[in-house]
Amino acid sequence: MEQEAVLLPRIGEAAPTFKAVTTQGEINFPADYKGSWVILFSHPADFTPVCTSEFMTFASMEAKFAEVSCKLVGLSVDGLYSHIAWLRTIKEKIEYKGMKDVEVKFPLIEDITMEVARKYGMIQPGESSTKAVRAVFVVDPNGIIRTIIYYPLSLGRNFDELYRVVVALQTADTFGVATPADWQPGDDVIVPTAGSCGVAKERMENKGDLKCYDWFFCTKKLPYDEVMKAVKKQ
């Protein structure tokens, strides 16, 4: 029997809606998060070591994400009581990389039916048909998916990179720029490519505050304090 094809969410589209039971009560996603950025992420299973290291890291960084108006929502196909027991174990027993007594306060979705996981393409049969992969969806304040990242079961995520993604997206939106490879707040940003021969010529002849490598590739300075002040207002 053929499985029904599922159209995976795409960048620039509205995040699929759902209601779910979580460790912090019922949520209606993304309606409950309107006005905030959100990272919706999945993990393969409770009581597993890679996932434990990830949840401790995310929980330890929750305040940092909150400063840039970003909330966290986790998901696995485990049940609510498993979630609660696992998070209690993390708080009471696990010490890792200097982190201890870590309390996970953000919601962790119960998805034993895999309904939400399938909506978001978190079940990748080639990797596992019974566990969600490590998917990450960055959703903006209007409920639009802005970034999608998938990791296999064996690979723990880089959480500094997830934070950088959120700040970079907000920077691009606020200042009308793009961010180059390996960009960090305070680095130069890329201005929109010249849209006409006249603008291209003007940029190359009268660069002003721009640094132009060629007519199509110009950068400008955007100080760290200016970036962080803007993103922390959102």
Q: Which residues are catalytic?
A: 51
Cα gap 64→59, rounded to integer Å: 10
**Where in the chain does DSSP place strands (E)?**
18-22, 25-29, 37-42, 70-76, 108-110, 134-139, 145-151, 189-190, 211-214, 217-220
Which residue positions form the known binding site?
134
Which residue positions form the known binding site for substrate?
134
Q: Going edge to edge, which strands form the sheet with 217-220?
A: 189-190, 217-220, 211-214
- Going residue by residue through the chain, which has 234 residues, state the pLDDT in tens, using 9 for 90 and above: 345 556 689 999 999 999 999 999 999 999 999 999 999 999 999 999 999 999 999 999 999 999 999 999 999 999 999 999 999 999 999 999 999 999 999 999 999 999 999 999 999 988 998 899 999 999 999 999 999 999 999 999 999 999 999 999 999 999 999 999 999 999 999 998 877 878 877 778 776 788 988 888 999 999 999 999 999 877
Please tell me the CATH superfamily of domain 176-232, with its number.
Answer: Antioxidant, Horf6; Chain A, domain2 (3.30.1020.10)
Residue type, 6: V
Q: Where are the domains of the chain?
A: 18-166, 176-232
Does this chain's domain 18-166 share its CATH topology with 176-232? no
Q: Find out whether 182 and 201 touch, Cβ atoms under 8 Å.
A: no
* Per CATH, domain 18-166 is 3.40.30.10: yes
